[in-house]
Amino acid sequence: EMLGKTPADVLAIKPMRDGVIADFEIAEKMLDYFIKKSTDNRVLLIRPRIVIGIPTGITQVERRAVKDVAMRAKASEVYLVQQPVSASIGADLPISEPTGNMIVDIGGGTTDIAVISMNGIVFNHHIRIAGNEMDEAIIQYLKKKYNLLIGERSAEQLKMEIGSAYPLDEPMTQEIK
Q: 94 CB contacts (<8 Å, ≥6 apart)?
A: 101
- Determine the pLDDT at residue 126: 93
> What is the pLDDT at residue 164?
87
Handedness of CA 60, 63, 68, 74 (dihedral sign): negative
pLDDT for res 3: 58
Phi, psi values for residue 34, rounded to 5°: -65, -40
Ranges of CATH 3.90.640.10 domains, the chain: 130-177
Question: Dihedral, CA atoms, 127, 133, 138, 139, nearest 10 degrees?
Answer: -170
Q: Is a pLDDT exceeding 60 seen at residue 1? A: no
User: DSSP assignment of 17-79, as one string?
Assistant: ETTEES-HHHHHHHHHHHHHHHTTTPPPSSPPEEEEEE-TT--HHHHHHHHHHHHHTT-SEEE
pLDDT over 70 for what percent of the chain? 94
DSSP 93: -
Question: What's the chain's average pLDDT?
Answer: 88
pLDDT at 136: 96
CATH of 130-177, one of 3.90.640.10, 3.40.50.620, 3.50.20.10, 3.30.470.20: 3.90.640.10
CATH code 3.30.420.40 region(s) in the chain? 16-127
Residue 77 has a pLDDT of 94
In tens, the pLDDT along 13-29 reads: 778 877 788 888 988 89
**pLDDT at 41 exceeding the cut of 80:** no
Q: Is the pTM of this model over 0.85?
A: no
Class of CATH domain 16-127: alpha beta
